[in-house]
Amino acid sequence: MKIAITGLTGFLGHYLAKKLFKRNVTIQSLIRTTSNILLFKDYEKKITFIKGDMTDKETLKKFVLGADVVIHMAYERNGASFREAANKDTKRFVEANLLGSIELLDASKQAGVKQFIFISSCAVYGYIFPHIPLDELHPLMPDSNYGAYKASVEAFCHSYFLSKVFDITIFRPVGIYGINPHLAHSAWYNIVKDIKHGANVEVSGGGKVVHVEDVAQAIDLAIGNKEASGKICNLSDFYVDNLSVARIAKDICSSKSNISGTPKQPIHTIDNARSQTLGIHYAGMPGLMQYVRELIDRV
């Protein structure tokens, strides 16, 4: 099986690659000239790197040529946060991400791809209707350009699927945590580092989270799976406030840090039942605690 992947050199891509290399697959990876491929040195024989970006039609045709499955994770943001990038240069944002995604769908159609997997985001929901369950059928009313982009690509995915071009699967992860190859970009890095070194910390906020390995597992389970055909799945484990993470870190390393802050409570709960029907098992609180332990060992 040949799998074409955008965003392989990103945070999620690093974990997905390790998962896929256990399969008998070859991978084609679309990368920019600035992409760091050193992490994949041990797997060079299994990966073909194709340099270019999502705005180049000819590059996209070459990228998907011969692929059975396309996994689309890439998001051009040039070092900015996900939401900042969507507001910084709207024209470039639309060209590189939205139009580029549509061109990728079309190139996949022309190449005879069998399955297209799109990594969307819970940002597509935006405004939450108070009396409607927050499952995959909840109306989409994005409150950010980033969410609007993801929702737009989802709509085009549905169009190709309902036109019987190829199978599609869409995943909507919440905040993804895990050890990032760029360690300082790991979730709660600064909080854990300060606590390990005995500094006093004041924390606020929180959010819905999912472990990066669980997202990689979901993608792996969807590949070639007819049960995933046409499906949208929320990927959400649980809500955690940052004060709780700080306390976990303090307990694990017996720090003398003083921790202050007010716990933040969740307003809505995202339904993840559909993802579990695909066989996805979430790391839960034990997974979060193991992550904090590993982060403490590394900072």
Model confidence at 96, in pLDDT bands (50, 70, 90)?
confident
Whether 171 and 244 map to the same domain: the answer is: no
Model confidence at 1, in pLDDT bands (50, 70, 90)?
very high
Choice among 80-84, 123-127, 202-206 with the minimum mean pLDDT: 80-84
Choice among 85-89, 110-114, 214-218, 249-253 with the minimum mean pLDDT: 85-89
DSSP 7: S
Whether 141 and 219 map to the same domain: the answer is: yes
**CATH number for the domain that contains residue 293:** 3.90.25.10
The pLDDT of residue 46: 80
**CATH number for the domain that contains residue 40:** 3.40.50.720
Rounded Cα–Cα distance for residues 256 and 275 (Å): 40
Domains: count for the chain: 2
Name every residue whose Cβ is closer than 8 Å to that of residue 41 and which is 6 or more positions away in sequence.
none
Whether 23 and 166 map to the same domain: the answer is: yes
Whether 86 and 168 map to the same domain: the answer is: yes
Whether 204 and 129 map to the same domain: the answer is: no
Pairing, β 238-241 against β 206-211: antiparallel
The SS3 call for residue 173 is strand
Is the per-residue pLDDT at 94 higher than 80? Answer: yes
Model confidence at 282, in pLDDT bands (50, 70, 90)?
very high
Choice among 23-32, 58-67, 236-245 with the minimum mean pLDDT: 23-32
Domain termination residue (choose one: 191, 220, 235):
235
Whether 188 and 202 map to the same domain: the answer is: yes
Whether 123 and 242 map to the same domain: the answer is: no
Whether 107 and 227 map to the same domain: the answer is: yes
Give per-residue pLDDT as tens, 160-180. 999 999 999 999 999 999 999
Mean pLDDT of 66-92: 76
Is the per-residue pLDDT at 139 higher than 60? Answer: yes
pLDDT-above-90 percentage for the chain? 78
Whether 227 and 241 map to the same domain: the answer is: no
Mean pLDDT of 135-142: 97
Mean pLDDT of 200-207: 94
Mean predicted lDDT score pLDDT of the chain: 92
pTM exceeding the 0.85 threshold for the entire prediction: yes
Whether 186 and 149 map to the same domain: the answer is: no
DSSP E strands, 124-219: 167-173, 175-177, 201-203, 206-211
Residue 14 to residues 123, 179, 210, 212, 213, Cα–Cα distance (Å): 22, 10, 16, 10, 10
- Which range marks the domain in which residue 218 is found? 2-176+210-235
Whether 156 and 280 map to the same domain: the answer is: no
Is the per-residue pLDDT at 152 higher than 70? Answer: yes
Q: What share of the chain is helix, strand, coil (3-state, %, to 5)?
A: 45, 20, 35
